[in-house]
Amino acid sequence: MTTAFYTHPDCKLHDMGPWHPESPSRLQAIEDQLIASRIDQLLDYRSVPLAQESDLAQVHSAAMIALVREHSLALAGTSGCYPLDADTLLNGHSWQAALRAAGAALAATDAVIKGEIDNAFCSVRPPGHHATSTTSMGFCLFNNVAIAARHALEVHGLERVAIVDFDVHHGNGTEEIFAHDQRVLMVSFFQHPFYPYSGAEPAGGNAVNVPVPAYSDGSVVRQLATEKWLPALDAHRPQMIFVSAGFDAHREDDMAQMGLVEADYAWLTRQVMRVAAQHAQGRIVSCLEGGYDLSALGRSVVAHLKVLADLE
């Protein structure tokens, strides 16, 4: 397997303050674990272009894009921040970082569809799955996975794609953007009730949402994925799979109260790989979402990448 790894130093410059859990150190923790596990040299490191505003506009409103751009650029050269909400802030580098994050997802999508690589992981921030068509929220500025999925459909002409979201929080933005678009199937589990307090009732007929209570462990998630996700994915027959890869359901992550471990993320990745091999020529693009305990995050990403790259 040829697995590409997309990241860029600009993604570390988006900084919402030393108190904020969605910090630049998250990407450094991943890079450190790749080196410690000795798989860094087995990945295809690729450059990350800037997304264009026209790419963002495929899923986001002009007003939303302008708000992020104008407030971030106004802070250039300063140490100030602009709050979009209580949890989501901009600094002078946020616009550039957000364009890199979306650009990575787009570049990975292009490379996978062209057959240059088998699959890809985008180690980028800010994350994306809470960003709706009109609102940045929940640490997310633009919805990287949604932008990439729409690109696959509209630019590359795919007829069906799937989005697998295993972040501990419901991907409300992704679901809202694709609600009722039958070309897109979204499957997810998430702690419930929990931020953003949505998802128990699907927004459209094209989402398989699996709310789970706090303190659920990997055995619960595996059973639910087997019973609910996999039949839906096989029935949809996606031509490409996108993964919103959040690792904050890990038992060591105190941002939530679930009990997954690295082996569970590896198992989930194997299921995605199996569906992709059967229906999508193996085509997968995975993008980092949550995961805030740095050690658990790094180890979980390594487990995810080892399966993607067929290293175990």
- For the annotated catalytic residues, the residue numbers are 130
- Cβ-based burial of 222 (10 A; exposed 0-12, middle 13-18, buried ≥19): middle
Q: Among candidates 3, 20, 19, 17, which has minimal Cα distance to 290? A: 20
Which residue bears the tokens 């990575």?
104
User: DSSP character for 79?
Assistant: -
d(CA 95, CA 79): 15
Buried b (16+ CB within 10 A) or exposed e, 189-210: bbbbebbeebbeeebeebbbbb
Q: Where are the alpha helices (DSSP H) in 183-229?
A: 218-224
β strands within the chain, DSSP E: 3-6, 44-46, 82-83, 89-90, 119-122, 161-165, 184-191, 207-212, 241-245, 284-288
Q: How many Å from the N-terminal Cα to the C-terminal Cα in the chain?
A: 12
Three-state secondary structure readout of 40-74: HHHCEEECCCCCCHHHHCCCCCHHHHHHHHHHHHH
- DSSP code of 115? T
Q: Could you give the CA distance from residue 285 to residue 245 in angstroms, rounded to a whole number?
A: 10
